[in-house]
Structure 1
Amino acid sequence: MEHDDEVEVLNNLPRGVALAWGLVKESQRGPKRELSIDQIVAAAVDLADREGLAAVSMSRVAAALGFTAMSLYRYVQSKDDLLLLMQEAVCQFPDQPEEILADWREGLRLYVRACIEVFVKHPWYADIPVSGVPITPNNLLIVDLALRPLRNLPLNDYEKMSTVLLLSSYARSTGMIQRDMERAIQGGASPGSFSGLDYTKALKLLVKKDRYPDLQPIIESGVYTEENPADNPVGNDFDFGLERILDGIEHYLASK
């Protein structure tokens, strides 16, 4: 009876999730089974990387593989399932050496940077809305990797998961900003439009102290437009923000 209950639980998983866990037998139909789920997902990821998420359709992916869309449906039954499998495929993080676990701050830095890299390397990733808690193998492994630097800290399970969520949220927002910057630059925007260097002189003329009493001195100093970035002790805005989050976690640990 217990085995039957377990089978029923697994059978109730969404099909895309079941595919990710290898719980669905691949179709035996089709021309000599020349296709596989991995091939389909890899073609879809390649298409999305080159042309964006809007270009991904069952027919486009099928054409890239030299098959009809109907052939794909024997393996992946919906576009939603395909999108989930695409996200799962690109979420493969390097394992963390044991020595990293001794330095929880460095372990969490590596986790955040690996998350950001996914958004930059696969710009379409964040175009797929969050639809629920991670329940696919690679995504759960990422959660596990994030938890490892917290292993020996005096945090309960709720505090550990909340810490991971905090860092994941920062990584997601930072990754999306970096992704958007990359997209704009590839589209012809000047890097100076993001640093502000293109507008330094104009802003110094336009931003007056009577209307912008606190912003004007920062523009005048050159920090706002990265004309003078020396006041940032860690080199860039994103690392500065991450270090302050880690400081907050460290302060919280000291208070326990």
Structure 2
Amino acid sequence: MSNHDITPEEAAKMLPAGAALGWGLVKPPQRGPKREMSIDQIVKKAVEIADKDGLAAVSMNRIASELGFTAMSLYRYIPSKDDLLILMQDAACDIPLPPERPPHEWRASMREYVMGTIDIFRKHPWYADIPIFGIPVAPNNLRIVDWALRPLRDMPLNDYEKMSVVLLLSSYARSCGMLQRDIDRAIQAGSSEEAFSGLNYSAALRFLIKAEQYPDLYPIVMSGAYTGENDGENTVGSDVEFGLERILDGIEHYLNRSRTGRTDK
């Protein structure tokens, strides 16, 4: 039996319940509240609550209360909180994708993927607070993976190499997205951008950092680069862009090596 010969019921049993619900493999309950309710309605409300008050504020009781139902009625649609989290995460990934670029613009395509992924973390600060349950298996999550694979389609890479490149890019995007999210949260809580750049601490650090104690950090602090004093003169872009460009340089080097058949590292 091939993988395409299984039934929807069999596929549903192989997936977490939340992912199966996302794929529409589970029939809605035949009995429930008289007023119409849907999985999409429940998930939309959960995302709304999380966007406003954080993931800790999301509970079946609160969702039910705001929708005008009982918590028990929600469990007819979504069997557990973990399944709800899978659906919320998948809903956050339901974003418009940019048009496909020609193959030679692969770097621009990868930039769009990374920056688009970072935007998910900033738009939905709770997104990274959801534990990683395993590989992406829900529909919108997999659509994001498919997006990341676009520019790799015609490259001289095997499937393992392609997925490794996607993992590299997604890991960088996740790390930067969480950092940007935390900065956004701190600024909303009353901190300042200068606190994160370090401008507020420039004079104090110049006084405290001594060459004999910090021989390699000392010249960086004295030049103003440590606290972002010279960002206006920076020609390489932001820290995120600089790191991403170096990753893309590495991918390009690996591709060139693959094309020429070289095995040196």
Q: TM-score normalized by structure 2?
A: 0.92
Where do 5+ consecutive residues of structure 1 fail to align? none
Measured after TM superposition, the shift of residue 33 of structure 1 is: 4.6
Between stretches 225-234 and 166-175, larger displacement belongs to: 225-234
Q: Distance in 1 between matches of 2:5 and 2:237?
A: 57
Partner of 2:24: 22
What one-letter code is carried by the residue in structure 2 that aligns with 1:156?
A: N
Contact kept, 8 Å, 2:12 with 2:26, in 1: the verdict is: no
Q: Distance in 2 between matches of 1:5 and 1:33?
A: 35
What one-letter code is carried by the residue in structure 2 that aligns with 1:204?
A: R
Q: Distance in 1 between matches of 2:233 and 2:215?
A: 20
Task: Spell out the pairing of 1:1-256 with structure 2 (5 A cutoff).
Answer: 5-6=6-7, 7-230=9-232, 232-256=234-258
The verdict on how the C-alpha distance between 1:89 and 1:199 changes in structure 2, with shifts beyond 3 A counting, is: same
Q: Distance in 1 between matches of 2:233 and 2:214?
A: 21
Local SS of the residue matching 2:246: helix
Local SS of the residue matching 1:67: coil
Measured after TM superposition, the shift of residue 11 of structure 1 is: 2.7
Measured after TM superposition, the shift of residue 235 of structure 1 is: 1.7
Measured after TM superposition, the shift of residue 70 of structure 1 is: 1.1
Measured after TM superposition, the shift of residue 101 of structure 1 is: 4.2
Contact kept, 8 Å, 1:21 with 1:136, in 2: the verdict is: yes
Between stretches 90-99 and 139-148, larger displacement belongs to: 90-99
Consecutive aligned runs of 4 or more in structure 1 exceeding 6 Å deviation: 1-4
The verdict on how the C-alpha distance between 1:60 and 1:220 changes in structure 2, with shifts beyond 3 A counting, is: same
Contact kept, 8 Å, 1:120 with 1:179, in 2: the verdict is: yes
Local SS of the residue matching 2:34: helix
What one-letter code is carried by the residue in structure 2 that aligns with 1:238?
A: V
Measured after TM superposition, the shift of residue 231 of structure 1 is: 5.9
Contact kept, 8 Å, 1:100 with 1:107, in 2: the verdict is: no
Local SS of the residue matching 1:212: coil
The percent of aligned pairs where both chains have the same amino acid is: 64
Measured after TM superposition, the shift of residue 102 of structure 1 is: 3.6
Q: Distance in 2 between matches of 1:95 and 1:55?
A: 30
Measured after TM superposition, the shift of residue 186 of structure 1 is: 0.7
Deviations 1:21-63, CA, capped at 9 Å, x for gaps: 0011111222335211000000000000000000000001111
Local SS of the residue matching 1:32: coil
Deviations 1:56-112, CA, capped at 9 Å, x for gaps: 000011111111111111111111110100000010232332335440000000000
The alignment yields a C-alpha RMSD, in angstroms, of 1.7
Q: How many residues align?
A: 256
